Amino acid sequence: MSTEYTFDKGKKACSKCARDFASGEEFVSTLHAAGEAFERRNWCRSCWTTPAADVFSFWKARMPERATRRPDNRTLLLQVFENRLRQEPREPAEAKLTYLLALILVQKRQFRLRDSVRRDGVEYLDLLKVADDRTLLVPVAPIADEEIDGLKTELEKLLETGPPAAPEEGAPGG
């Protein structure tokens, strides 16, 4: 089954000056949503200024120093979720990103799914942020059930830095 969404991971180089990042170098990554495309761009520290208007979220990244293990990305996912520049999604693709991030964070037990609620014809996930007991409502995006798992996986890969880690066979599935 083909999906209409595309994920552009960007190169491990600065989007502006095109310089390759060195091992251990810190840089800034931005996440963009446009149409059905989710795109990551990377910025070296001298090229980074402030997030442009089309940035969905941004975070500090670091090139791994050789064969490092895949870092625990729960903190990163929370940061990307909470660094969103706009609370109201600008376009449907941003609503999908928000929804997918929320689902990943539920799977990683950072959010607890309490209920789903409907207000003014819109369905929301009623979530509890485990770390500080904060509740939040995230609108359910119109994504087909059979597409969700694939999209979550792609989004997690998009946020990773460095070489792909070994597949986690037999990991508990949430």
Which residues are at the interface with Zn ion (CB under 5 A)? 14, 16-17, 44, 47
Cβ closest to Zn ion, residue 47 vs residue 136: 47
Four-residue CA torsion sign, 130, 94, 99, 172: negative
Contacts 24+ apart (CB under 8 A), 169-174: 173/107, 174/106, 174/107, 174/108
Residue 21 CB partners (closer than 8 Å, separation 6+)? 12, 13, 14, 27, 42, 44, 63
In angstroms, give the least distance from the CB of 34 to Zn ion: 22
Strand partners, 119: 122
Cβ closest to Zn ion, residue 33 vs residue 44: 44
Strands (E), 48-161: 57-62, 111-119, 122-129, 134-139
d(CA 58, CA 21): 17
* SS3 state of residue 171: coil
In angstroms, give the least distance from the CB of 57 to Zn ion: 20
Cβ closest to Zn ion, residue 52 vs residue 117: 52
In angstroms, give the least distance from the CB of 50 to Zn ion: 15
Cβ closest to Zn ion, residue 15 vs residue 57: 15
Residue 62 CB partners (closer than 8 Å, separation 6+)? 24, 25, 26, 27, 161
In angstroms, give the least distance from the CB of 10 to Zn ion: 13
In angstroms, give the least distance from the CB of 123 to Zn ion: 42
Cβ closest to Zn ion, residue 43 vs residue 111: 43
